Structure 1
């Protein structure tokens, strides 16, 4: 299965490293290794609409950097393997930008954007409670505020990346 194309927000380098250290701590406790680059997805599609990418290139520079606050933990999927994520809140301008971009993606049928940072992909359902408990234990208590300082369009099948906002734009 080919991974979908994504319009993504990325954490500051310092915070990305902090998340990777949390991934390492979880792996050292025997949980599945997490190799993904920490990110917040705005929208995804197997064939992203060019209008969504162009909209992102226009609106994201006006809202990046964007502040996010960790407000809880969410579990996505009803299948055997699940995703554990930090549920995030952000300001109205970032939410409006995400909605505007997503509305141009015909494959995005959500009525609202749920900002989140995936902390565990493909976690076996039976392991999820222990994974969440360990995540709480290894996450520094003060690590509640996150900063997305850049955005990009990622095409995994061809490994193409286009910077949309932030320092590398």
Structure 2
């Protein structure tokens, strides 16, 4: 399956580097390497509709940069491969905008949005408890807040990133 198109938020360079450092330390402990650029997805689709991207370009600039607080861990998936993420909370303004954008996406989940930052992608189900334990041990107490400095539309098929709000500096690619 090809990677979907996304409307997503990128972290500040400092926050992104701290997350990448956690990835590196997990890998040093023998867990699968995490290559993804740390980000927060608002909505995704095999082929994002132009009106969804246009609405994101209108709704997100007033709420970016945005602060997120890490409030727990969550596991997504019910099959053999699962995803571990940090559950996040943000401002009411961003939450409302994200839900409006999500509701416009016919391939989305309606007006639902679960803000999260993936820290373990497609992990074998049997290592999840050990992975979460290691993640808790390696995550410093001060890594509880993140700042999203950029909103973008990512089209992986063409490796095309369109900045919708915020700064053009940030992460390497996606």
Which TM bucket (shorter chain)?
over 0.9
Distance 1:46 1:7 in 2: 12
Query: CA distance change for structure 1 residues 110 and 67 in 2, over 3 Å: closer, same or farther?
Result: same
In structure 2, the residue matched to 1:88 is: 88
Q: How far does residue 109 in structure 1 lie from its aligned partner after superposition?
A: 2.2
Following superposition of structure 1 onto structure 2, how do residues 154-169 of structure 1 map, counting pairs within 5 Å? 154-168=154-168
TM-score by length of 2: 0.95
In structure 1, the residue matched to 2:142 is: 142
Query: CA distance change for structure 1 residues 165 and 111 in 2, over 3 Å: closer, same or farther?
Result: closer
The secondary structure found in structure 2 opposite 1:33 is: coil
In structure 2, the residue matched to 1:131 is: 131
1:152 maps to 2:156: no
Gapped runs of 5+ residues in structure 2? 170-174
The secondary structure found in structure 2 opposite 1:79 is: coil
Q: Deviations over 1:97-150 (max 9, x none)?
A: 101111111101244210000000011000000000000011111110111011
Indicate the larger mover: 72-81 or 111-120.
111-120
The secondary structure found in structure 2 opposite 1:101 is: helix
Distance 1:111 1:64 in 2: 20
Distance 1:28 1:109 in 2: 36
TM-score by length of 1: 0.98
Gapped runs of 5+ residues in structure 1? none
| Count of residue correspondences | 169
Following superposition of structure 1 onto structure 2, how do residues 16-165 of structure 1 map, counting pairs within 5 Å? 16-165=16-165
The secondary structure found in structure 1 opposite 2:70 is: strand
